[in-house]
Amino acid sequence: MDFSSVQGKVVIVTGATRGIGEAIAKIFGEHGMKVACAARSEKQGEAVARSIVENGGEAIFIKTDCGKKEDIKALVAKTVEAFGRLDGIVNNAGIGMGGIPLHEYDDEDYDKIFDINSKGIFIGMKYAAEAIFKSRSEGGFIINIASIAGIMPQRGQALYTATKHGVVGMTKSAALDYAPYNITVNAICPGYTKTTIFGDAPDAALDMFAKDCPAGRMGNSEECAYLALFLASGMARYITGAAIPVDGALSAGHQNVSSWRHPEILTGASLNSGSTIAALMENDTSRAIVDKYLPGFSANEQAKQAYGMTFGAIAPMFGLPAETVKKMLDELDNM
C-alpha cells in the first residue's frame, strides 16, 4: 500500500476541527498532503493545523462557515493563493437533526439543515471542481462525507436523510460529469461512529448503537479517514461515483435470526456440550450419547435442526432430571 501518490497534493477539508474531518485532515497531513483546514471555530481549527505542522506536515486554517456561499468561495481562493493549486476537497462539514416525526419539523429546520448539508456541499463541489480544472490536476478528487442515511432512510430523520440522499445523488451525477477528465467523485457513508457529536451520551446509549450494528461496535473516525486517503491516492483512480458505507454492515440489510451449525471453528475446539444440536447430530459418537438419554431424538428431523440451540439450553424442556442432564452434558464434553 504505497501512498506516495498523494504527496504534495493540495486538499481542502471542511469541518476539520473534530471527528471525521479532523481525522482526515491529520492523516492527509501525515502522508505529505498540503491541507487547508476549514471550519467555523478559529481556536480549534488553528489547533488542528498546528498539530499537522508539528508532525512534519503542511497545513493552514481558514475560518469558514460552510452554510455561506461567499465563505466557501473565499476558502477555495485562499487555498489556491496559499499553495498555488488545488487537487481535491473533502466536503465533511454538516449537522445532524432528527429524532422526531416529519410533521414536527419547522420550515426553519429545513432551511438550516439544507443550507449546510446540501447547498454547502454543492457550493464546495462547484468551486473546488473549477479550481481543480484550472490547476490542471492530474489526480483530482472530490470526496463527500454522506452517511448511511444516504443509503437507507432512518425513522425520525426525514430532513437529515433527505440531505444525505441528495449528497449521494450529487456525488454520482458529478462523477459522470468529471470521469472523462480524470477527476474522481465519491461519497463516504459512515455508520455509528464515535465522535464528539455524541458528547456526554451515557454508556447505555452508546451500547444501544453498538448492539444495533452487526459488527457489535461503533466505528472510529480513523476508519473513515483511511478510506478517504485511499480515494485520494493513485490506487483509486478507477473508483468514482461510489457511495461507500463504513458501518460494520449496518446498511447491508435487515438482521435476522441466524446461527452457526459449527461454532467450534471459531475456537478450534472439538464438539462438546456447547456445540449446537445440529452439529452434534452430524457426529456418530455424540448422536449415540444423545439417543442414550433421549431415545429417538436423532430420528426427529425438526428437533435436530434447532437453530443455534444447545442441549444445555433445551434439555430441561424434555423433563429430564437435573442429574440426568448433567450426565449427558458431561459425556458430550468427554467424547
* Residue 246 confidence (pLDDT) above 70: yes
Mean pLDDT of 176-201: 89
Catalytic residue chosen out of the listed positions 105, 110, 127, 160: 160
Task: Give the position of cell 444440536.
Answer: 277
More confident position, 280 or 16: 16
* Residue 66 confidence (pLDDT) above 70: yes
| pLDDT of 257 | 60
Pick from 106-110, 189-193, 198-202, 317-321: least confident = 198-202
pTM across the whole model: 0.82
Residue 148 near residue 159 (C-beta atoms within 8 A): no
Q: What is the DSSP letter of 219?
A: E
More confident position, 198 or 235: 235
In degrees, rounded to 5, the angle at the alpha carbon of residue 60 between the alpha carbons of residues 56 and 62 is 160
Residue type, 80: V
Residue 28 near residue 6 (C-beta atoms within 8 A): yes
Residue type, 118: S
* Residue 16 confidence (pLDDT) above 90: yes
| pLDDT of 227 | 98
Number of residues assigned to the chain: 335
Q: What is the DSSP letter of 11?
A: E
Q: Write the Ramachandran bin of 13: left for phi over 0, alpha for psi from -120 to 50, otherwise beta.
A: beta
**b/e for 259-291, b at 16 or more Cβ within 10 A?**
eebeebeeeeeebbbbbbbbbbbebeebeebbe
160 is catalytic: yes
The CATH 3.40.50.720 portion of the chain extends over: 4-246
Residue type, 299: A
Residue 121 near residue 138 (C-beta atoms within 8 A): no
- pLDDT, one tens digit per residue, over 68-84 is 999 999 999 999 999 99
Task: Give the position of cell 461503533.
Answer: 218
Distance separating alpha carbons of residues 250 and 309, to the nearest angstrom: 25
Q: Which helix (H) or strand (E) holds 206?
A: helix 203-212
Mean pLDDT of 42-62: 97
| pLDDT of 294 | 85
Q: What is the mean pLDDT of the chain?
A: 91
If one counts every other C-beta atom within 10 angstroms of the C-beta of residue 205, the result is 11
Q: pLDDT confidence of 320, banded at 50, 70, 90?
A: confident
Share of the chain above pLDDT 70, in %: 93
Distance separating alpha carbons of residues 39 and 305, to the nearest angstrom: 57
- pLDDT, one tens digit per residue, over 254-276 is 776 666 667 777 777 788 888 88
Q: In the numeric block, which cell numbers belong to residue 172? A: 454520482
Share of the chain above pLDDT 90, in %: 68
| pLDDT of 103 | 93
* Residue 37 confidence (pLDDT) above 70: yes
Q: pLDDT confidence of 306, banded at 50, 70, 90?
A: low
Distance separating alpha carbons of residues 303 and 326, to the nearest angstrom: 20
* Residue 211 confidence (pLDDT) above 90: no
Burial category of 308 from C-beta neighbours within 10 Å (exposed 0-12, middle 13-18, buried 19 and up) = middle
- C-alpha distances (whole Å) from 137 to each of 73, 97, 132, 209, 242 are 19, 36, 6, 41, 21
Q: pLDDT confidence of 277, banded at 50, 70, 90?
A: confident
Distance separating alpha carbons of residues 169 and 173, to the nearest angstrom: 6
Residue 31 half-sphere exposure toward CB, CA atoms < 13 A: 21
Mean pLDDT of 85-94: 97
More confident position, 297 or 103: 103
Q: pLDDT confidence of 301, banded at 50, 70, 90?
A: low
Q: pLDDT confidence of 200, banded at 50, 70, 90?
A: low
More confident position, 97 or 301: 97
Helix, strand or coil for residue 153? coil
CATH number for 4-246 (one of 3.30.465.10, 3.40.50.300, 3.40.1190.20, 3.40.50.720): it is: 3.40.50.720
Residue type, 264: E
User: Quick one: which of 111, 264, 239, 248 has its CA closest to 192?
Assistant: 248
| pLDDT of 268 | 76
Task: Give the position of cell 499537522.
Answer: 52
Report residue 47 CA to chain centroid gap. 26
